[in-house]
Amino acid sequence: MSPPWEGGDYKFSPKVHFKTLNSIDMFKEDTLKDDTILITGGGSGLGLSMAHKFAELGSDIAICGRTEEKLQNAVEELKEHGTKVKYYVTDVRDYEAVGEMFDGIRDDFDQITGLVNNAAGNFLSASEDLSPGGFKAVVDIVLHGSFNCTHHFGNHLIKQKQEGNILNITTTYAEDAGSAFVLPSACGKAGVLAMTRSLAYEWAEYNIRVNAIAPGPFPTEGAWTRLFPTKKFEKKYIDRIPAGRYGDHEELANLAAFLMSDLAPYITGECVTIDGGEKLSGGQFNFIDGLMSRSKLKKFFKMMKG
């Protein structure tokens, strides 16, 4: 799909898929017709990839972020799909500013039917070296920002007696193990996951579905260089993934489109992991796979039996 992305002091090129993504035709061109979906942090990375997929399937698109130039460039890209697209320079940490943004979206589009809470921040740090400001910055974007947008959107839907969909982008470490060296992100994303399930139950009465996606490694130019600055980092990480490759943005965008569409009307409160099996690497004896080749392992196991 995309050309190999170049960052830091190395390049990567994912393994070839079993099937090319272009051969998968699970959606119709009008799957999201009559929808208007807001994607926070939609000016780049996974947010922009989801925006492309939603627009390709007929949805009008609103994106927000803090950098106007990035948003302007994204809108120019998204126009190719022929649906209505607008951007809003908004800091999701500011509750009042988020409210003004939703007023603007309703004025510009007459409606809003879906929200993807994608805006996030993250960086590597020993937890003892974290500053209160660094911790707060990430949690404010991830957790408070998701709440701010969800609260405004949910109240709009309830007031209008309108059904709608909310999709939160979490992480694979939000639920069980947490993660060393990214403590603010782990705390913020765990809170978003709890909010997903809490509101899915509470707002089902209003026909509002709330789901989440927990992505594994999907390279994005900004975040990737901060979290994987060298080839050694990248190699260590990919060795943990049973699929042996990173995710393609199209794969995550397809999943997001499915959850936001009428193809999934009975799914709510769910968090879908998409990580090539990385989360499974915590199995007690999974480390054995990295000790030697599979053929040598088989010989070793036979020797043990003997």
Please identify which of the residues 10, 88, 95, 173 carries the catalytic annotation.
173
Of 175, 295, 260, 254, residue with least CA distance to 1: 254
Contact (CB, 8 A) for 197 and 256: no
The alpha carbon of residue 179 and the mean position of all alpha carbons in its chain are separated, in whole angstroms, by 17
Kindly give, in sequence order, each residue whose CB lies less than 8 Å from that of residue 160, ignoring residues fewer than 6 positions away.
none
Q: Strand 6-7 to strand 10-11: parallel, antiparallel, or no bridges (unpaired)?
A: antiparallel
Question: 44: which 2 tokens?
Answer: 């780049």
Contact (CB, 8 A) for 46 and 249: yes
Q: How many whole angstroms separate alpha carbon 224 and alpha carbon 135? A: 19
The contacts found for 123-130 with CB under 8 angstroms, 24 or more apart, are: 123/182, 123/226, 123/227, 124/181, 124/182, 124/226, 124/227, 125/181, 125/182, 125/183, 126/181, 127/180, 127/181, 127/183, 130/183, 130/184
Q: Report in angstroms the alpha-carbon separations of 93 from 52, 90, 149.
A: 25, 9, 9
Q: How many whole angstroms separate alpha carbon 289 and alpha carbon 238? A: 13
Contact (CB, 8 A) for 166 and 209: yes
The residue type of 236 is: K
Q: Annotated catalytic, 173?
A: yes
Residues labelled as active-site residues: 173
